Structure 1
Amino acid sequence: MKRLTGCTLAILLLLASWTSAALAEQGFILLASTIGPIDAGIVSVLEDAFEKDTNIRVRHVGAGTGAALKIAQKGSIDLVMVHAKSLEEKFVADGYGTERIPFMYNDYVIVGPADDPAAIRGTKTATEALKKIAAKGAPFISRGDKSGTHVAETELWAKAEMKPTGPWYRVFEKGSEGNKATLAYTNTEKGYTFIDRATYLSLKKEISLRILVEGDEALLNRISLIPVSQQKFPKINAQDSATFVKWLSAPDKGQKIVNEFGKDVYGAQLFFPDSKEWKARAAK
């Protein structure tokens, strides 16, 4: 029998209590979200605004994308918010989710020490930067937890036609705690890492690392919504989940919040609207 980690056990216990409440009443949605948007604060803001508009409560658990999808495969979640296309497509293809719905995006950056020992600052492509880090043998910290961020990182190494190995490439043993924990650890190790911009901005004043590579198309980080299949799990709250998805996708509701989030606190936009409805309005 596979041993549960403390974090996994805590999530399952929390889900058990919430699932009981959800089954007892309508107007209650369970969301499994990738950790980055939770850490940034946007998930709670969206949940609160939605409840105010509709009287439908949303409660979330945070996990890396791989873990979030595994939780949803148990039928104890109504909706997932994730960011790893290959894992999402498999989740839908296997019948656990109904469809991938574009929601929002931000971007990844490569950060490192201000003195930049691998000399990657201003490198035009992220793959070129990774090659320089590897050639120098500079410390690189990976989440290593099959989260969306880790999947995106490994895909980038593959594009660079490299398989990182050696003492310079370090897997953070607490990577499953999320990007904030990984970034803070990288800072103490004076290393490089691959991280989303929102996490960096949220910790910018507390760390000495700098953004060294950005703007490459390969660094875009698209976040999707996937309703869990009611055909697979008849007891999930598909009706209220559909209402939430529609609200999140609406240009004057969820997408407006996404578009404005972070500007007042960080002086920069953390996420960008990506729904079909938002794009349709922008195209007019």
Structure 2
Amino acid sequence: MEYRRREVLGASAAGIAAAVGGCLGDSDDDGEGSIAGEELAMATTTSTEATGLLDELNAAFRERFGTRVAANADGTGAAIRSARDGNADVILVHARSQEDEFMREGYGVNRRDLLFNDFVVVGPSDDPAGVGDTEQATAAFEAIADAEATFVSRGDESGTHTKELVIWSEAGLEPGGEWYQELGQGMGETLTNANESGAYTLSDRGTYLSRDDLDLEILLQGPIEGGPELLANPYGIMAVNPEIHDDVNYQLAMAYIGFVTSPEGQAVIEDFTANGEQLFFPEALSEDPDFQQYVPEGWQPDGSEE
């Protein structure tokens, strides 16, 4: 579902400063201010919505600023396409290669690392492919392909699907055949399908842990539990460039970014649990901030890239 374009007046420099400054200072209890009563259009991934984290963050933002967030959760690829078309003010996604392309093309500005978890390979408890005996994501995928065990792929250009394709490529394999099934659906639907068919799949840890109706087991852990770094799953947030789409609400996008990367917003992420498990880990605050979070990976101060 695409957003309907809204007629939004361009934000003045003073208005932008007031909104961003408000993220760090006090706000009136009645929500009065330069952004109260407005609506932020967000494009994001299914994992943030399916786990319930997005509702927690957006409720906290609304309570703080009196501002509603209209979120469209449809996978990273779809979220970025929506923002590229000017149908979102801010995006929260988890595929760095796609985020970097979005920034290089000039559509995104002010990117920040926001949170992380990791990916896990899940499958049936009897593990016919022997994934549980592997230690690397590439070896796990090789075992599944060699056994021609059913693997369910999201197949939707999401962050999870992007990571899956990276793993197949690193393993030197091109999956195909009856054992490899592409659904074109979100993580929740993919997990349900894999559960019903006794198949393997790649899942973000948060969505898997938020479900209490699955017989699937984690057979290969990501780096949170000491697994391979290839299964790391960082999320980033960025505003849509108002120089490309002058009707996006840049002022409100920057207020939201300021809030979710503040100590208050990061505490919401850290405290969020489901079924007694922490699903995401805050990443915006650091004693040693990573400059590369703001620009495409490999970018150099002289404007060149490695």
TM-score (norm 1): 0.87
Please say if residues 106 and 221 of structure 1, whose CA atoms lie closer than 8 Å, have aligned partners that are also in contact.
Answer: yes
Please say if residues 22 and 29 of structure 1, whose CA atoms lie closer than 8 Å, have aligned partners that are also in contact.
Answer: no
Please say if residues 89 and 100 of structure 1, whose CA atoms lie closer than 8 Å, have aligned partners that are also in contact.
Answer: no
Q: Which moved more, 1:136-145 or 1:96-105?
A: 96-105
Provide Cα deviations, 1:131-157, integer angstroms capped at 9, x if missing partner: 111111110110111111100100011
Q: Secondary structure at the match of 1:98?
A: strand
Total equivalences in the alignment: 259
Query: What CA distance in whole angstroms lies between the structure 1 residues aligned with 2:76 and 2:97?
Result: 11
The answer to whether the aligner puts 1:267 opposite 2:279 as a matched pair is: no
Report the equivalent of 2:236: 224
Choose from 43, 46, 53 the match for 1:32: 43
Q: Which runs of 5+ in 1 are unaligned?
A: 1-10
The answer to whether the aligner puts 1:200 opposite 2:200 as a matched pair is: no
Which is helix-richer, 1 or 2? 1
Report the equivalent of 1:249: 261
Query: What CA distance in whole angstroms lies between the structure 1 residues aligned with 2:239 and 2:47?
Result: 19
Choose from 155, 163, 177 the match for 1:144: 155
The answer to whether the aligner puts 1:104 opposite 2:115 as a matched pair is: yes
Q: Secondary structure at the match of 2:118?
A: strand
Query: What CA distance in whole angstroms lies between the structure 1 residues aligned with 2:66 and 2:172?
Result: 50
| C-alpha deviation, 1:280, in angstroms | 2.3
Query: What CA distance in whole angstroms lies between the structure 1 residues aligned with 2:98 and 2:217?
Result: 30
> What percentage of residue pairs aligned between the two structures are identical?
36
Report the equivalent of 1:49: 60
Q: Secondary structure at the match of 1:117?
A: coil
Query: What CA distance in whole angstroms lies between the structure 1 residues aligned with 2:101 and 2:248?
Result: 20
Please say if residues 8 and 247 of structure 2, whose CA atoms lie closer than 8 Å, have aligned partners that are also in contact.
Answer: no
Query: What CA distance in whole angstroms lies between the structure 1 residues aligned with 2:107 and 2:288?
Result: 31
Please say if residues 22 and 28 of structure 1, whose CA atoms lie closer than 8 Å, have aligned partners that are also in contact.
Answer: no
Provide Cα deviations, 1:55-105, integer angstroms capped at 9, x if missing partner: 122110111111111111111210000111111111111111114310001
Choose from 214, 219, 223 the match for 1:212: 219
Please say if residues 195 and 215 of structure 2, whose CA atoms lie closer than 8 Å, have aligned partners that are also in contact.
Answer: yes
| C-alpha deviation, 1:22, in angstroms | 5.9
Q: Secondary structure at the match of 1:100?
A: strand
| C-alpha deviation, 1:32, in angstroms | 0.5
Whichever of the two has the greater Rg, that structure is: 2
* RMSD (CA atoms): 1.8
Q: Secondary structure at the match of 2:252?
A: helix
Provide Cα deviations, 1:155-191, integer angstroms capped at 9, x if missing partner: 011111111122111112xx33x10000000111101
Report the equivalent of 2:16: none
Q: Secondary structure at the match of 2:131?
A: coil
